Structure 1
Amino acid sequence: MIVPAKQAPREAPIALYVDADACPVKAEIYRVAERHHLKVFVVSNSPIALPRSDMIERVLVPSGPDVADDWIAERVSKGDVVITADVPLASRCVKAGADVISPTGRPFTTDSIGMALATRNLMDELRSAGATTGGPPPFSPRDRSQFLSALDLAIVRLKRAGYGAADGR
Structure 2
Amino acid sequence: MILVDADACPVKEEIYTVAFRHGLPVRLVAGSYLRHPDHPLISMTVAGDAFDAADDVIAEAAAPGSLVITADVPLADRALKAGAQVLTPRGEALTPQNIGGKLATRDLLADLRGGLEGQTLGGPRPFTKSDRSTFAQALERAVRGIKA
- Fold match by TM threshold 0.5: yes
Residue among 69, 92, 107 paired with 1:121: 107
Show structure 2 runs of 5+ residues with no match: none
Aligned length: 146
**Paired residue for 2:128?**
140
- Percent identity reads 48
The CA distance in 2 between the partners of 1:18 and 1:154, in whole Å, is 14
**Which structure carries more helix by proportion?**
2
The CA distance in 2 between the partners of 1:107 and 1:64, in whole Å, is 28
Q: Which amino acid aligns with 1:16?
A: I
Q: Which amino acid aligns with 1:26?
A: K
Residue among 116, 132, 156 paired with 2:144: 156
Show structure 1 runs of 5+ residues with no match: 1-14, 161-169
The CA distance in 2 between the partners of 1:111 and 1:61, in whole Å, is 30
Q: Which amino acid aligns with 2:137?
A: S
Q: Provide the alpha-carbon RMSD of the alignment.
A: 1.0
**For 1:146, what is the secondary structure of its paired residue?**
helix
**Structure 1 segment 3-152 matched on structure 2, within 5 A:** 15-130=1-116, 133-152=121-140
Larger-gyration structure (1/2): 1
In the TM superposition, residue 157 of structure 1 has moved relative to its aligned partner by 1.1
- TM-score normalised according to structure 2 size: 0.95
Describe the superposition over 1:1-31 as per-residue Cα deviations: whole angstroms up to 9, x where unpaired. Answer: xxxxxxxxxxxxxx00000000000111011
The CA distance in 2 between the partners of 1:158 and 1:74, in whole Å, is 19
In the TM superposition, residue 65 of structure 1 has moved relative to its aligned partner by 1.1
| Displacement over 3 Å in runs of 4+ | none
Describe the superposition over 1:33-53 as per-residue Cα deviations: whole angstroms up to 9, x where unpaired. Answer: 000001110000121111110
**Larger RCO, structure (CA 8 Å, separation 6 or more):** 1
- TM-score normalised according to structure 1 size: 0.84
**For 2:68, what is the secondary structure of its paired residue?**
strand
